[in-house]
């Protein structure tokens, strides 16, 4: 039995993306690397996204096609188990290049749910 329903997982992802966006307003990569609080805040929200993606499983591709769901689930393993290898640029690039399209897919999926 799933922990929560699919729509709740989608909303969890959306909320985490919105938090990350708010943390990074006005920042570039160098500012991000230099700001431990922001890095840690972003790194706290990324596992929310990756865990919700894992809990959605293969349903994620059906509910919100397009994003690299497998990649997000894999990143979760790195964040949880290889925390000593977290690469600031990888996190930054994921946030800047992958989260916008994920957000669009999530919003579309949630709109369909209504």
Looking at the domain assignment, is residue 1 inside a domain? no
Q: What is the DSSP string of 20-45?
A: HHHHTTT--HHHHHH-HHHHHHHHHH
- Across 88-106, b (16+ Cβ under 10 Å) vs e yields eeebbebbeebbeebbebb
Distance of CA 18 to the CA centre of its chain: 10
Looking at the domain assignment, is residue 55 inside a domain? yes
Tell me which residue range forms the domain holding 41.
6-109
Q: pTM for this one?
A: 0.92
The per-residue pLDDT string of the chain (114 residues; one tens digit each, 9 = 90 and over) reads: 456 799 999 999 999 999 999 999 999 999 999 999 999 999 999 999 999 999 999 999 999 999 999 999 988 888 887 777 789 999 999 999 999 999 999 999 999 876
Looking at the domain assignment, is residue 10 inside a domain? yes
Looking at the domain assignment, is residue 16 inside a domain? yes
| Rounded distance between C-alpha atoms, residue 52 and residue 71, angstroms | 13
Number of domains composing the chain: 1
pLDDT at 80: 80
pLDDT at 13: 98
The C-alpha torsion from 53 through 33 and 36 to 48, rounded to 10°, is: 0
């Amino acid at each position: 039995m799933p922990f929560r329903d699919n729509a709740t997982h989608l909303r969890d992802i959306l909320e985490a993306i919105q938090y990350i966006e708010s943390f990074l307003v006005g920042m570039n990569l160098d500012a991000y690397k230099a700001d431990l609080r922001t890095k840690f805040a972003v790194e706290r929200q990324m596992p929310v996204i990756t865990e919700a993606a894992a809990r959605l499983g293969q349903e994620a591709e059906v509910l919100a096609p397009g994003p690299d769901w497998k990649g997000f689930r894999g990143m979760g393993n790195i964040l949880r188990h290889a925390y000593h290898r977290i690469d600031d640029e990888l996190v930054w690039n994921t946030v800047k290049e992958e989260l916008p399209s994920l957000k669009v897919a999530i919003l579309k999926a949630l709109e369909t749910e209504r």
